[in-house]
Amino acid sequence: MTAFFNTGLTQQQFLDQYWQKKPLLIRQAFADFESPISADDLAGLACEEDIESRLIEEKGPSGPWQVTTGPLTEEDFARLPPSHWTMLVQDVDKHLPELQELVDPFRFIPDWRRDDLMVSYAPEQGSVGPHTDGYDVFLLQAMGTRRWQISNDAVVEQPLIAGLDLQILQQFDADQTWDLEPGDMLYLPPHFAHHGVALNDCMTFSFGFRAPSKTDLLDAVINTLLERELAQQRFSDANLIVAKQQHQISQQAVSDVKQLLHDVINDAEPLIASALGRLVTDTKSSLVDLAELQLTETLTVTELAAMFEQGQVLQKNLYYRFAWHEQENSGGQLFFAGEQFEVENIAHLKILAEYTELSQTDWQKISQDEASVTILSHLIAEGGWYWQFAE
């Protein structure tokens, strides 16, 4: 069994004992860690037009906990005080592909559950306030020291400070306090209140794992049913009794509707994987423009073969999401950017979804199946894969 960092746990033991259950502090999860990016590098990203970033000032000129959304400017940085502010940049793992190796140790968690690597920089006393998150997160200390205070129990509904652009808890009582040094990491399940404060100039890498809400899932299933013109049967009440009040909705009617909805979900079971796959691979709105920079024309089989023969390789576009599902009978489904493709060859399905590069060797396998070639050509045209010369 693969070890989970240096905890003495296997990956499965971590999932069984901690995942979505309780926090875990891991000292030197990344031993002798040195941040691969500097604060200046991060500030440069925050100034980019198409990169999602925020500046949070606890004592801003416009009031407490002021939030400035990017792109940030030199003027934004010039007016900052020496303390009590934080800069955050989303999706740094996609903007800087070299950081993907930091994500690799977390790939025992399905990749469709992973959101992004957010990187924050803060001088002394920098913070975003005590809060909870609706997702799992691993907080890796990359530079400096940050003091984390956390609660021992999950809190789903807590009063927030009104009138802010941030969701900061009105009251926060810490049960545990830890100072994290570079290489230390804290895992937090959803809804565990936490408060991190920089003790000096520090950077924190946040590996976030998202989960769709019940509403999102229901909406995805309903949309799939509508697209396929299923679940068209109407409400029925063969057990109807004489109404005592002309306009009353009886409790029996409510129960019948509830049962009808249960039946719809049961009937939709064969479509749930499809609805889920399309939902979780939908491209983040903040990344669409960057993802579409790789759009190109559709290539024929001959043109694809020629490109590989010239020594070129295909690189997966990190701004898009991929997922796949193996069907019970045969073949499976490839999900890409909210689209779905049927792939009969499971080996090809895994190549198209799991690989990060495609070489001529991979092409020789895929080229044996016309349907797989057609899908690959479409993915290239849509920017899911793009050409890079082999080194």
**Model pTM?**
0.93
CB-hemisphere CA count at 13 Å for 138? 26
Which CATH number belongs to the domain containing residue 33 in this structure? Answer: 2.60.120.650
Apex 27 CA angle, 135 and 145, nearest 5: 80
User: Do 248 and 384 share a domain, yes or no?
Assistant: no
And the tokens for 251? Answer: 């409790």
Domain boundary among 194, 209, 224: 209
Domain boundary among 230, 247, 272: 272
Q: Rounded to the nearest 5°, which phi and psi values hold at 149?
A: -115, 135
Reported as type and span, the H/E element at residue 53 is: strand 53-60
Per-residue pLDDT of the chain (391 residues; tens, 9 = 90+): 799 998 999 999 999 999 999 999 999 999 999 999 999 999 999 999 999 999 999 999 989 999 999 999 999 999 999 999 999 999 999 999 999 999 999 999 999 999 999 999 999 999 999 999 999 999 999 999 999 999 999 988 889 999 999 999 999 999 999 999 999 999 999 999 999 999 999 999 999 999 899 999 999 999 999 998 888 889 898 889 898 889 999 999 999 999 999 999 998 888 999 999 999 999 999 999 999 999 998 989 999 999 999 999 999 999 999 999 999 878 899 999 999 999 999 999 999 999 999 999 999 999 999 999 999 999 999 999 999 864 4
Residue 193 DSSP class: E
User: Do 262 and 333 share a domain, yes or no?
Assistant: no
Across 170-300, where does the E strand assignment appear? 176-180, 185-188, 192-198, 202-209
Is 279 domain-assigned? no
Q: Rounded to the nearest 5°, which phi and psi values hold at 305?
A: -60, -40
8 A C-beta contact, residue 305 and residue 352: no
User: Do 118 and 163 share a domain, yes or no?
Assistant: yes
User: Do 200 and 225 share a domain, yes or no?
Assistant: no
Is 89 domain-assigned? yes
Reported as type and span, the H/E element at residue 273 is: helix 269-280
The residue whose two tokens read 């691993």 is 138
Structurally, the chain folds into a number of domains equal to 3
User: Do 131 and 220 share a domain, yes or no?
Assistant: no
User: Do 183 and 315 share a domain, yes or no?
Assistant: no
Torsion sign (Cα): 366, 371, 372, 378:
positive
Is 5 domain-assigned? no
Domain that residue 78 falls in:
11-209
User: Do 257 and 369 share a domain, yes or no?
Assistant: no
Domain boundary among 272, 297, 317: 272
* Pairing verdict, β 192-198 and 146-154: antiparallel
User: Do 331 and 204 share a domain, yes or no?
Assistant: no
User: Do 41 and 178 share a domain, yes or no?
Assistant: yes
